[in-house]
Amino acid sequence: MLHKIESGLLPFRCLIASTSLEHGALNAIEKARRAGIHQFIAVGGDGTVQSVATNLDRESEVLGLVMAGSGNGFAAHFGYQRNLSQNLDIIRKGRRQQIDQVSVNGHRFVNLAGVGFDARVADLVRSSKQRGFLAYLKAVAQLMFTDIFWTGQVYLDKEQVEGQFLTVVVANASIFGYGFSIAKGAQADDGLMTVVLVERVARIRYLLALPFFFLGQAHRLSWIKVRTVSRVQIKPDDLTPVQTDGELLMAAMTYDFQIEPRSLTLITA
């Protein structure tokens, strides 16, 4: 794939550098900067995009995407498809958009974060040798009949919501991945966050609701609340995991979310 990317972007000068779990993309970015390169392409899924995007200079550096990971919800939100030629065509055209980033407890992300069930799924997938949609499906099935709910408070600007939740998602863009839309209407350049509160109901209702998510109609479900806000604080009663762009963070008793308006220049379709 890397050879196809390099040849597909001629006559642009390319420097191919790999990332690592230990150092993320920072070493690769610094290597490119020393070579005078200011346009970057993240080849991978949402975790790779996060690793690259959150290390770029907001004033002078630009990010393009190639869908090559598991979920790729962020790329899909901006019109990228699972087609290398289409991705490279978008990058060559170079249409740029200033978009927001979000941080939780100081950790920046680009797509979405989830406190609760989806973080547990991400943890299970990460420890598995499998990847792709079947790995996520297997993890969901494995967890569905365990202790998946949490109790706590969610502060949304001036509103407080208290209860039991499957998950609370804080979204910058709209898609988890694989066409699974969680935050219909989320805009990544409006200086706001879309918060999706998935309340506790009978487990069978989550399974029956899957078509609503694939059709982008989850907001119609009575047990899902959607808010668009500028400030979010989540306080679980007990330690509850959080994931950002599919990457698990250290669990905390309080999660403070902040929006960073138009802090990333992205090449979009």
| Whether residue 80 has pLDDT greater than 90 | yes
Q: Give the span between the Cα atoms of 255 and 233, in whole angstroms.
A: 6
* Pairing state between β 39-44 and 159-171: unpaired
Q: Give the span between the Cα atoms of 214 and 221, in whole angstroms.
A: 13
**Domains in the chain with CATH codes:** 2-100 (3.40.50.10330), 107-262 (2.60.200.40)
Average pLDDT rounded to a whole number, residues 232-259: 96
Q: What share of the chain is helix, strand, coil (3-state, %, to 5)?
A: 30, 35, 35
The residues near 69 (Cβ < 8 Å, ≥ 6 apart) are 44, 45, 46, 47, 48
Q: Is residue 40 a contact partner of residue 69, using CB atoms and an 8 Å limit?
A: no
Tell me the three state secondary structure of residue 52: helix
Provide the whole-model pTM: 0.91
pLDDT, tens digit (0-9, with 9 covering 90-100), for 173-223? 998 877 788 898 899 999 999 999 999 999 999 989 989 988 889 889 999
Q: Give the span between the Cα atoms of 165 and 149, in whole angstroms.
A: 6
| Whether residue 69 has pLDDT greater than 80 | no
